[in-house]
Structure 1
Amino acid sequence: MQQENVVLCAASAYEEKFYLNEAFSGLPEGIKEELKIICVLFTADVGGVLIMEFGPEGDLRLRVDVAEEDILFDEIGSGLKIRQIQRERAELFESLETYYRVVFLGDSSIIE
């Protein structure tokens, strides 16, 4: 049985809103603020909706949704920006993946 992806957070350039999944309210405030900054700056820069989600194995994915009528969305810039964020925030993302695998998937072998 395939598990669904679990959304960590998202930001929308269209609604100018940020969402953090309540299941992750236990994260430190500094981490939550950093996630908000990453998402909001991304959507302000390239537009669309940035969604950070965990895959079934606990890997953190960045996905962008775009309204069909959004002719100003920069698809190439979006891909470049995602790769830049993944490079610059690799340590944060690895920590979040470990947190998710331990707390949500129950994989205690990671912390041994």
Structure 2
Amino acid sequence: MTTTDSRVDELHARFAATREDLDGAARPFTGQSDVKTRAGEAVRYAATAARNGRQQVSQVRESVQQRPGRWAGAGVGVLVLAAAIIGATAWHRSRQRPPRRATRALRNVAGRRAR
């Protein structure tokens, strides 16, 4: 009977060791399954981001009030850049279209006369 008891004790020890190994492997995942804690962290993060956003908006307002010329210049620069991009895009598209037959024929005739 002692051999059976020793085998049982050996199995119990192996089971305990396996449980400890599995517990150590599963420990990193326990935080992911806690939905309540993760939701609370998300709410805190969103509240912090909102506070930071409000602070940035107030800083921009103060900057606009203190230096309106700089902001007006920046606005004009953005508008000029947008107009340049739109103009370049329109020009590029017009260069990609093949000319109409009549236009092409007129250019050929005008090219022959110039020679």
> Normalising TM by the smaller chain, what interval?
under 0.3
Q: Which has the higher strand share?
A: 1
Q: Which has the higher helix share?
A: 2
Question: Larger Rg: 1 or 2?
Answer: 2
TM-score, L = length of structure 1: 0.22
TM-score, L = length of structure 2: 0.21
